[in-house]
């Protein structure tokens, strides 16, 4: 299943009380996809409660899905996509069976190819922080047909480097929403930060 999203916002450790306001602010600022990590307390319940509030054309998913049991819980909660930190064919298989797009985590060339062959919609190259955009460019040499999502260490300052290297998208956490805005639970500041990040991407695209 295809998944065409240039920027995925990653939220870890958010409270159930603040998430609806954050989701609304981020989507209104132009973000297309939002991921809550499974190791956030009550993550599946947050998704189940907020799924009916997701506007048309937007996506709410669950990330840090590490095994088949977590994948089952995530899909039953109504996640519109799954993201994994590792390559687990059983997770990819369950998501495929349930027709839920899955972004499978990988790092080495072998893992990247295995994740794609198993049926991942995108391959999440993680963590990118220690290796940078140059590593993506090298992977794209033999695997130019595999759409890749860069995650870990992506910021507004290096965003263009990753897209120039050939990624289909990026996954971003605090550098997208703003660490201070998240700590203060300030949806207005979140919207401003998301808008600036998306504007940087749109400048590169143009």
Q: Out of 3.30.379.10, 3.40.50.2000, 3.40.50.300, 3.20.20.70, select the CATH number for domain 7-205.
A: 3.20.20.70
Cβ 136 vs Cβ 128: under 8 Å: yes
Query: Average pLDDT for residues 158-166, to the nearest whole number?
Result: 96
Query: Average pLDDT for residues 177-205, to the nearest whole number?
Result: 96
pLDDT attached to residue 206: 83
pLDDT attached to residue 4: 86
In the DSSP assignment, the letter for residue 100 is -
Domain ranges of the chain: 7-205
pLDDT attached to residue 114: 97
Looking at the annotation, which residues are catalytic?
Answer: 35, 124
Residue 116's pLDDT band, with cuts at 50, 70 and 90, is very high
Tell me the percentage of the chain whose pLDDT exceeds 70. 99
Query: Average pLDDT for residues 128-137, to the nearest whole number?
Result: 96
Cα distances from 3 to residues 70, 71, 101, 137, in angstroms, run: 21, 18, 7, 21
Q: Is the pLDDT of residue 41 over 90?
A: yes
* Long-range contact set of residues 106-112: C-beta below 8 Å, sequence gap at least 24: 109/139, 109/142, 109/143, 111/87, 112/139, 112/143, 112/146, 112/148
Mean pLDDT score across all residues of the chain: 96
Assessment of whether the complete model's pTM goes beyond 0.75: yes
Rounded Cα distance, 5 and 198, in Å: 12
pLDDT attached to residue 1: 62
Residue 17's pLDDT band, with cuts at 50, 70 and 90, is very high
44-65, pLDDT tens digit by residue? 999 999 999 999 999 999 999 9
pLDDT attached to residue 38: 98
């Amino acid at each position: 299943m295809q998944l065409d999203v240039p920027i995925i916002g990653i939220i870890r450790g958010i409270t159930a009380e603040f998430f609806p306001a954050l989701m609304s602010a981020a989507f209104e600022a132009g973000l297309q996809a939002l991921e809550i990590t499974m190791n956030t307390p009550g993550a599946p319940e947050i998704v189940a409660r907020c799924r009916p509030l997701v506007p048309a054309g937007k996506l709410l998913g669950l990330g840090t899905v590490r095994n088949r049991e977590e994948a089952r819980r995530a899909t039953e909660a109504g996640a519109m996509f799954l993201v994994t930190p590792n390559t687990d064919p059983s997770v990819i298989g369950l998501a495929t069976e349930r027709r839920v797009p899955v972004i499978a985590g990988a790092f080495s060339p072998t893992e990247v190819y295995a994740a794609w062959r198993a049926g991942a919609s995108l391959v999440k190259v993680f963590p990118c922080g220690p290796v940078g955009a140059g590593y993506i460019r090298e992977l794209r040499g033999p695997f130019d047909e595999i759409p890749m999502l860069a995650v870990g260490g992506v910021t507004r300052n290096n965003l263009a480097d990753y897209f120039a290297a050939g990624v289909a998208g990026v996954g971003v956490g605090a550098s997208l929403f703003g660490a201070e805005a998240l700590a203060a639970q300030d949806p207005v500041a979140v919207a401003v930060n998301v808008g600036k990040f998306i504007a940087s991407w749109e400048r590169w695209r143009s």
